[in-house]
Amino acid sequence: MKRAAKDTLASARTISRRALILGGAQLTFMGGLGLRMRYLQVDQADQYLLLAEENRINLRLLAPARGLIYDRNGVVIADNEQIYRIVVVREDAGDLDETLAKISRLVALTADEIERARRELRRRSSFVPVTIADRLNWDEVAEVAVNAPALPGVTPEVGLSRYYPMGEDFAHLVGYVGAVSEKYLEQSGDDDPLLEIPKFQVGKRGAESELERTLRGSAGTRRIEVNAVGRVIRELDRIDGTAGAPVQMTVDSRLQNFVQARLAGQSAAAVVLDVETGDILAMGSAPSFDPNKFVRGISRADYRALLDNKFRPLPNKPAQGAYPPGSTYKMVTALAALEAGVVRPEETVYCPGFLEVGGRKFKCWKRGGHGNVNMEQSLKYSCDVYYYEMSLRVGIEKTSEMARRLGFGRRYDLPVSSISAGLTPTKDWKFARHGAEWLIGDSVNASIGQGYVLASPLQLAVMSARLATGRAITPRLIKSIGGVEQPVRDGEKLNINENMLRVVRKGMYAVSNETRGTAYRSRIIDEAMQMAGKTGTSQVSNALVNNKEVPWEQRDHALFVAFAPYDKPKYAVSVVVEHGGGGSTAAAPVARDIMLQAQYGQLPPLTAYPASQRSTIKARQDALQLRQIKPGSGRSRA
């Protein structure tokens, strides 16, 4: 059947339209392909020529800036400083021994350093840059740069290294960094590519170690063009890494400095807590050490001197140390007895100077005894017999349970190395540990913080804060990370009767502020800042000896705990002086000075001290003032 002319025309128009669309699409595709070919062959010709010659392009990791650490006021306590170094890429260096010999003629290198570099170059992949020398001055770097044509594979670089502007003050808290070692890689199991960068610094101790991932940041990369002999021609592109997050600690650098200065010359520890928040305002450990030496590579002689020092500079004594708390533990025994209902506050116990238990005499520190004493007086005079009697009435289980409520026997979650949990003994613990039954004499010893009981200075400060507030204060060391405020734990009520706490606080007030109180000589005259405290002396040797007549290592430890102001507590302090003798003579004066410094925020006026002691205090302040941080020192982020 013949198609109508009208239908034939419509069909032709349809076919023409389709042909145009198809042809346009083909033309567009061909045009795009042509433009792309032009872009690749003309515009990007140089780039792809370089990529084709793989031996001329190197990809290198860029170490990020390590996160800075600040004190609570924004003063930098862990900084980064710019350094110059020389790196070598083995695959570009040619004759390795010849290259090292050339470098050593330009830069002073010891035989040990050359051998160490040689081992590192052989251990690392051939394309990985290895640091041969760092912390060079500008003249040394310039000398290497001028001789670059004769040094294949050798490149001078600018980098960052950790620096601690406060030196010894924060050595135990902040810790230090050091170069990545094989031991570190094995123990950490960390597979971050950054660790392949020679002499990359990682935290080795303290907050630097505990917050390593936070402070490290992430790697950047750069592509460089090198010529046939391995000399860097140019940098093709760079992607900077992400710097580590800044960390702000709760510590006040000025107070920390004062604490370290006040403890100088002794083997001692001190902790200052904000009793409302639990913030650690200072944590001093003496003697200390310069962490910058570890960053730069401490010499064997310097390290041996630290190890051989009988005052033990390396351990973080406030958190790591575990000491018999001595008479500072008597508040624990007192509250346990009150809560158990085995004694009334006004009830007296007669102290003839000893208590005979099971045929053995347990002596009071005062040979002639204290006579009849109630609970407040037992704390004021630090009568041992009173607490021997309480131990017989209340038993070890309830005493240790009260100790745990007051902060003992716990390893606090803080970013410092090797935190001690101390020890609050029980009958089951002794049987499991020593395979022996608990004896009544064990309870007697524990009642005055001797025997198996152990506590750290940090735990003693926590106890003081909890006694002052009646709340389960938990210590906090990190204020913010990356600008984000870290949570403050609102301490729950201790569920200890407030009237019982008042009895103990009143006894502690008498210790420091009433005549015949064991710390009366260390009282604070300013009534608005008076402290309530407790002295302690813990025996190192079972023999009854005069501390002045035996070697230092055999003398008793001296302790003191306190909170202030008495009417409205704000600060809690603990001080332990290893082998210091008596708590009243060695530890209490130190704690008073620290407490006044915390309350005044500066060296306190002499009027805060008893008139008879002001000349001595003035001389001490003059000496301490030389050690204070100068105004404006340390770089602030504010």
Tell me the H-state helices in 74-188.
90-93, 96-106, 111-123, 138-146, 171-174, 182-188
Exposure b/e, 54-85, CB count within 10 A at least 16 = b: eebebebbebbebbbbbbbeebbbbbbeebbb
For residue 370, give the nearest of 354, 384, 351 by alpha carbon: 351
Residue 574 among the catalytic residues: no
Q: Name the DSSP class of 32.
A: H
Residue type, 472: A
Q: Report the helix count and the strand count for the chain, using DSSP H and E.
A: 24, 21
Q: For residue 548, what are its two tokens?
A: 């002045």
Residue type, 479: K
Q: For residue 216, what are its two tokens?
A: 């490290």
Kindly report each contact of residues 626-634 with a partner whose C-beta sits within 8 Å and lies 24 or more positions away, as own/partner. Answer: 627/257, 627/260, 627/261, 627/264, 628/254, 628/257, 628/258, 628/261, 628/603, 629/166, 629/253, 629/254, 629/257, 633/165, 634/75, 634/76, 634/77, 634/165, 634/166, 634/253
Q: For residue 526, what are its two tokens?
A: 């300013």
**Cα–Cα distance list, 435 to 49, 189, 428, 566 (Å):** 78, 38, 9, 45
353 within 8 A of 347, measured Cβ to Cβ: no
292 within 8 A of 80, measured Cβ to Cβ: no
DSSP 276-287: TT-BEEEEEEES
Catalytic residue among 267, 327, 512, 584: 327
444 within 8 A of 357, measured Cβ to Cβ: yes
485 within 8 A of 279, measured Cβ to Cβ: no
Residues that are catalytic: 327
